[in-house]
Amino acid sequence: MPLSFTIEAQTGPARLGRILTAHGAVETPAFMPCGTAGSVKAVPQDILEELGAQIILGNTYHLYLRPGHELIRSLGGLHKFMSWERALLTDSGGFQVFSLSGLRKVTEEGVNFRSHLDGTSHFFTPERSIEIQIGLGADIIMAFDECTEHPAERSRVRESMEMTLRWARRSQDYFESHKCEVPWNHIEEASGQTQALFGIVQGGMHADLRRESAGRTVELDFPGYAIGGLSVGEPRAQTLEMIAAVLELLPKDRPRYVMGVGYPDEIAQYAAMGVDLMDCVLPTRAARHGLLFTSEGRVNIKSKRFAQDQGPLDPKCGCKVCLRYSRAYLRHLFVAGEPLAGALNTIHNLWFYLDTMRSVRHAIRLGDGSGILSGRVSLA
């Protein structure tokens, strides 16, 4: 069984679910912190566990380049390599290759690209992406896709969508032939759960192409489905329109994952629409630049007005940063360039995101539709 997904409660379209993987259960809707190179930047794994992260995301492109998937496989897979016993998801590398722009060339066979590290040439095919992801050993892996740029002509979007569909079939065929090569076969045999391959819906900013892509991807019968190609510069209203167009066509008994989104209020809204999984670099990236998310709105901690502020960053927050440190101290660390600034800021932002999802799940359980959208329901 690739994974077990059950829906335990529903409030409108929002679903309270449970994904069972070989490395533990994931309660949904869930936010996945991004552990790009086998590390959520500035945060050790034990603190991630304390924060309540149930599943984190690893990046196929970056791990392939450094330290290499063969090395990670030889050391027992990514879980063991990074000492993370909970669930993992890896992306296909498609978005990173897309972001290389002038350093890549896309053909029907795959993508030639140059490493951003040293300029060496590499070639990703659907088969190669799945081979790497099997070697990394994440619980959930993604079909290789082409992320369409924005804006793009309709003819270009259709061409890209069609190729993503062909690549999805090739990804699936390779996976079915090689899935037994996952590094944690002993856990698989004991738990009954195997690695799962999700398909990805593309189609740019054209609702009809999105619906077509969704319908044809569902025909391939993946155990879960992702909506890709968003957060590429389009307005938020368009993001919502594309997600809504796709969700109504995805199977209700499979997990739904929107890739690369978003701000805290956005992930709460997507959860209210029926999305089960989300990820984004925003909470960690923003933290390193001094942008913090609080119940009172966004805070730029480097602002001079916090220089003598002895209050907590967010009086309503239960994270270890807000319980211990003042705004004045957090500002001092950031202005002084102390590495601790990035660590504390990131811990707070991740707590805020993960706590938003805890509140959303609680609101769904209570049948509180307004609480789902706000993401701020008391857990008492």
How buried is residue 360: exposed, middle or buried, by Cβ count under 10 Å (0-12/13-18/19+)?
buried
CB-CB contact of 265 with 294 (8 Å): no
Question: How far apart are the C-alpha atoms of 14 and 272, rounded to whole Å?
Answer: 5
In sequence order, the β-bridge partners of residue 283 are: none
Tell which residue, 91, 95, 182, 73, has the closest CA to residue 141. Answer: 91
Tell which residue, 154, 237, 248, has the closest CA to residue 201. Answer: 248
Lateral strand order in the sheet of 4-11: 4-11, 14-21, 24-28
Catalytic residues: 91, 279
Question: How far apart are the C-alpha atoms of 72 and 118, rounded to whole Å?
Answer: 21
Tell which residue, 372, 288, 333, has the closest CA to residue 29. Answer: 372
* Residue 318 burial (CB count, 10 A): 10
